Structure 1
Amino acid sequence: MARTGRPAGPANETATVVLTAALELLLVEGATALTAQRLHQATGVSRSTIYRHWPTPTDVLAALIDVAPSPPSPSSGDLAADLHAAVDVLCDRLRDKPVAAFLQALTTTAAHDPAAADLRRRYVEDLLEPFGTVLAQAEVPRGPADDVIAVVVSPLLVDALLLDRPAARARAHRAVDLCLAGLEGVSR
């Protein structure tokens, strides 16, 4: 039986227009610009359409996460080379404005919206996923793998989010090497 009425989601073209504008607003004006009124001004899409599909700025951020591309995890079979490649990909992503600005927007929004805190966690987990994949493929146990990820990635996120400076790629590569040296005694 055919249903009549409005479709469940926005038309692809409408979603593309709104989310493209949302990303541009986020990068230029910050997360506070992700209101239906501001998106309407930027796109010409009706406020009611925007409210229907993205009722809050957090909903806009969630939609942006859903359409964000994910780079593939490196997989050469060489644990050191793959972790170094994951560091390079993360440093490049943190250097590029959308990822760092997006993380800052999620952090700011999470201060007053618990749903944004969940989004921030999800987004950071997506950034960490390549490291987890590499370590799992090398059969590094979960505890030591989590330690490696924390030691390597945490300073990069601090650089990008709190210190507003480029991620220290060379330091992260040294951290990988130190962690791998420490893993030699861990049974896999």
Structure 2
Amino acid sequence: MTKPGRPAGPAADTEAVVLTAALELLLAEGAAALTPQRLHTVTGVARTTIYRHWPTPREFLAALIAVAPHEPARPSGDPADDLHAEVDLLCDRLRDKPVAAFLRALVTASTGDASYTSLRHRYVMDLLEPLRRAIRALGVADRDRIEDAAMTVVAPLLVGVLLLDRRVDRDRAHRAAADLLAGIGART
């Protein structure tokens, strides 16, 4: 038996319109621009709909994270090549405006409001997951070792891009991946 009343979430087309506009605002103006009133003005979607589903900037960011999966590279059959392919994808993601700007917005938002910290962690962990899968495919089974290996490759990239405003250092990331492969005895 179904209950009468409003559906649990917005219609798919409404959600797409609002979240696309939210991403554009986020990239142009930062997380503070993600208010229901502002999204209503930009999209024309009823304020009540926006307030009901995304009452704060935090809800917009959480929804954007939920719809932004980071697809892994196509497996080649060679785990070492697959690791390097994941490193390339991560470098591309950090170089491209949406991911880097989204991360910067999350960092900025979490410095002003600790409730955003869990969103920042979730987004970074989602970014790391394809790399973790590639490391597991190399035969590394220990969770701590997988995490340490992933962070060895990713940490310098994140520091460079987010904290030092540098371009993505793809060569450095590949050297870190090669060192990782050498450390576990895999082919580089």
TM-score, normalised via structure 2 length: 0.91
Asked whether the equivalents of residues 37 and 47 of structure 1 are also in contact (C-alpha less than 8 Å), the reply is yes
**In 2, Cα distance between the equivalents of 1:50 and 1:113?**
22
Structure 1 residues 80-109: Cα deviation after superposition (integer angstroms, max 9, x where no partner) = 211111110001111111100111111111
Residues 79-118 of structure 1 aligned to structure 2 (within 5 Å): 79-118=79-118
Residue 3 to residue 145, structure 1, CA distance change in 2 (3 Å): closer
**In 1, Cα distance between the equivalents of 2:157 and 2:33?**
27
User: Paired residue for 2:167?
Assistant: 166
- How far apart are residue 70 of structure 1 and its match? 2.3
**In 1, Cα distance between the equivalents of 2:74 and 2:132?**
11
Residue 36 to residue 81, structure 1, CA distance change in 2 (3 Å): same
Residues 54-65 of structure 1 aligned to structure 2 (within 5 Å): 54-65=54-65
- How far apart are residue 78 of structure 1 and its match? 2.3
- How far apart are residue 64 of structure 1 and its match? 0.6
- How far apart are residue 165 of structure 1 and its match? 2.2
**In 2, Cα distance between the equivalents of 1:66 and 1:115?**
17
- How far apart are residue 74 of structure 1 and its match? 4.3
User: Paired residue for 1:130?
Assistant: 130
**In 2, Cα distance between the equivalents of 1:67 and 1:27?**
16
**In 1, Cα distance between the equivalents of 2:153 and 2:70?**
20
User: Paired residue for 1:145?
Assistant: 146
User: Paired residue for 1:17?
Assistant: 17
Asked whether the equivalents of residues 80 and 138 of structure 2 are also in contact (C-alpha less than 8 Å), the reply is no
Q: Which runs of no fewer than 5 residues in structure 2 stay unpaired?
A: none
Which letter maps to 1:55?
P
Residue 60 to residue 129, structure 1, CA distance change in 2 (3 Å): same
**In 2, Cα distance between the equivalents of 1:75 and 1:147?**
22
User: Paired residue for 2:26?
Assistant: 26
User: Paired residue for 1:179?
Assistant: 180
User: Paired residue for 2:75?
Assistant: 75
TM-score, normalised via structure 1 length: 0.91
**In 2, Cα distance between the equivalents of 1:158 and 1:164?**
8
User: Identity of paired residues, percent?
Assistant: 61
Asked whether the equivalents of residues 106 and 120 of structure 1 are also in contact (C-alpha less than 8 Å), the reply is yes
**In 2, Cα distance between the equivalents of 1:46 and 1:146?**
44
Residue 69 to residue 150, structure 1, CA distance change in 2 (3 Å): closer
Asked whether the equivalents of residues 74 and 86 of structure 1 are also in contact (C-alpha less than 8 Å), the reply is no
**In 1, Cα distance between the equivalents of 2:17 and 2:152?**
39
**In 2, Cα distance between the equivalents of 1:176 and 1:137?**
14
- How far apart are residue 147 of structure 1 and its match? 2.2
**In 2, Cα distance between the equivalents of 1:102 and 1:144?**
28
**In 2, Cα distance between the equivalents of 1:98 and 1:76?**
27
Indicate the larger mover: 89-98 or 40-49. Answer: 40-49
Which letter maps to 2:165?
D
Which letter maps to 1:165?
R
